[in-house]
Amino acid sequence: MNHHAAPHAAHGATEHDPDHGHRPGHDHKPDHGTGPGPGHSPDPAPGHGRDHEHEHDQADLLDLDAEVLAGHLADIVASLPVGPPPRRIVDLGCGTGAGTFALLARFPDAEVTAVDSSADHLRRLREKAAASGTAGRVRTVQADLDAPWPDLTAPDLVWASASMHHMADPDRTLRRVRELLAPGGLFAVVELAGFPRFLPADAPEERPGLEERCHAASERRHAEHMPHRGADWGAMLTAAGFTVEHHRTVSVHLDGAADPAVGRYALQSLRRMRGSAAPALDAGDLAVLDRLLDAEGPDSILKRADLTVRTERTVWAARRTGESGVDPI
């Protein structure tokens, strides 16, 4: 999954959470922030147990993101100007496989190399591949995308969803992708143009606008750690030698009443945002937020019938061209 002044290593499609120091290749697509929800102790000192818990929670959120937004992701993949169907695909920062499986479904003769730094994310991806009967078409590679890259063959299509902004040096990554691609190959970059909103503007009743205040506080925090979020990827792709052939913004507006997963998605998303937003919230806002995030409480966000998912994702598709136009794949 958009992954710093002295940036920490980039996360490669969900990717996110500057506080936890994940290595590039993590899919931090949702980018919702960090921190405990109700019932969690404040962030302890870094340690394996907390890192594992964080990674597990992040994987759950990535799975929810993929479930709720599956139709929109399939539409993005279907709109790519691929030309001849790709046979070799690389998913950079694959996370738990949202992009991988959308690509496998769209291109039934293709094989996908899924790259991420998280062993847990890759394990989940392999389990999904086995369950869906696509294990023979998926290769997983654990790698730090800010370090020297492993051999990823010469793919016809490289997909990077919500991962490019996590890179320590995005310009270097763009050059690496261009060198990696087969002549005439396509690079698809998907970035969040807006993080998901779930509550109506006049909710919750006791503190209207609470969600927007959480987003504002979280985005100020993230801006300090992820300077490449919101970058002009079209211009950067062109500077790296690509020819941008496709650019669109996809607006998402889903009614939560029709999908029970939306409530779980809202709960996990706001829980992760709490840590980065909490220092900027007053006591009243924080108390109401914690009541929303108490899954068993009477004011739980899970019990609300007025949830929607509202977000945007922006897509660029850029071709590796030769000296005088597009090379054949």
210 has pLDDT over 60: yes
Distance of CA 156 to CAs 53, 180, 206, Å? 36, 9, 53
**pLDDT tens digit string along 214-223?**
998 887 766 5
pLDDT category of residue 195 using cuts at 50, 70 and 90: confident
pLDDT of residue 321: 86
Instruction: State the greatest distance between any 2 C-alpha atoms of the chain, in Å, as a whole number.
Output: 65
pLDDT of residue 237: 96
How far is residue 9's CA from residue 252's CA, in Å, rounded to a whole number? 30
Phi then psi dihedrals of residue 310, to 5 deg: -130, 120
How far is residue 34's CA from residue 276's CA, in Å, rounded to a whole number? 6
Distance of CA 141 to CAs 25, 72, 128, 150, 239, Å? 10, 26, 16, 8, 28
How far is residue 28's CA from residue 5's CA, in Å, rounded to a whole number? 19
pLDDT of residue 32: 40
- Please give the average per-residue pLDDT across 58-64, as a whole number: 88
Q: Which of 230-244, 252-266, 296-310 is predicted most confidently?
A: 296-310
How far is residue 86's CA from residue 181's CA, in Å, rounded to a whole number? 11
pTM of the model: 0.81
Judge whether 301 and 225 are in contact, CB under 8 Å: no
pLDDT of residue 232: 81
pLDDT category of residue 325 using cuts at 50, 70 and 90: very low
Lowest mean pLDDT among 31-45, 77-91, 209-223, 292-306: 31-45
Q: Which of 21-35, 42-56, 263-277 is predicted most confidently?
A: 263-277
- Please give the average per-residue pLDDT across 79-84, as a whole number: 94
- Please give the average per-residue pLDDT across 139-167, as a whole number: 93
pLDDT of residue 226: 56
Preceding omega of 204 cis (within 30 degrees of 0): yes
27 has pLDDT over 50: no
pLDDT of residue 168: 87
Give the closest residue to 310 by CA, choosing from 189, 212, 182, 190: 212
Residues 6+ apart with CB under 8 A from 210: 199, 203, 204, 285, 288, 289
188 forms bridges with which residues in the sheet? Answer: 159, 317
Characterize 109-148 residue by residue with b for buried, 16 or more Cβ atoms within 10 angstroms of its Cβ, and e for exposed. Answer: ebbbbbbbbbeebbebbbebbeeeebeebbbbbbbbbbee
Q: Which amino acid is at 323?
A: E
pLDDT of residue 17: 36
Give the closest residue to 100 by CA, choosing from 68, 61, 146, 62: 62
253 forms bridges with which residues in the sheet? Answer: 310
pLDDT of residue 14: 38
How far is residue 165's CA from residue 30's CA, in Å, rounded to a whole number? 12
Average pLDDT of the chain? 82
How far is residue 194's CA from residue 176's CA, in Å, rounded to a whole number? 27
Residues 6+ apart with CB under 8 A from 41: none
Q: Which amino acid is at 214?
A: C
How far is residue 11's CA from residue 2's CA, in Å, rounded to a whole number? 9
**pLDDT tens digit string along 266-321?**
999 999 889 889 999 999 999 999 999 999 999 999 999 999 999 999 999 999 98
